[in-house]
Amino acid sequence: MTSGVEHKRSRRYQRLNEVHFIEHDEFAQKAPAIVQLEISRLGDMIHGNEPGSDLHTTLVTVRYHLSLFHDELNREMNAVSIEHLNAAIVSLSFPESEIAETTRDTMVYVADRLDYILAQMKRLR
């Protein structure tokens, strides 16, 4: 079964954003700020969903893993484990039928940015 996020991505286009256009060295400097922005975006989505719902729990899980990843980024970029970033991306998989379209679009956007960050982190190793 394809997740809602993956299905949405394959059904439409992969959205490009500013992180796709920055140089590798600049990415290394901006990565903590980019991840913090996504943590904040997830916080807004969390507050817009009913506490205790499956989507709310999923978004809290994604934010938790991103926060741990962000803490590691702030310590030392080259020693960062991508385990929490992977967990956040996997946690964004949610059945499409259970999500409002605007929330789904935001989740696709966040997943795309996190996928790009993951690819860049792998290049740093």
**Residue 7: predicted pLDDT:** 44
Give residue 64's pLDDT band: very low, low, confident or very high (50, 70, 90): very high
Q: Which of 12-26, 64-78, 105-119 has the lowest mean pLDDT?
A: 12-26
- Local structure of 116: helix, strand or coil: helix
Q: Which residues of 47-63 are buried (b: 16+ CB within 10 A; e: fewer)?
A: eebeeeeebbebbbbbb
* Helix 83-91 vs helix 101-124: crossing angle, to nearest 10: 160
Short-list 103, 62, 104, 55, CA closest to 86: 62
Q: Say yes or no to pLDDT of 61 above 60.
A: yes
- What is the separation of C-alpha 6 from the centre of its chain, rounded to a whole number of angstroms? 13
Q: What is the rounded average pLDDT for all residues in the chain? A: 79
Q: What residue spans define the domains of the chain?
A: 4-124
Q: What are phi and psi of 54, to 5 degrees?
A: -60, -40
Note the pTM of the prediction, 2 decimals.
0.71
> pLDDT for 8-51, tens place per residue?
444 444 555 666 667 767 777 788 888 999 999 999 999 988 89
Q: Which residues are CB-contacts of 9 (< 8 A; sequence separation ≥ 6)? A: 108, 111, 112
Distance, CA of 6 to CA of 90 (rounded, Å): 10
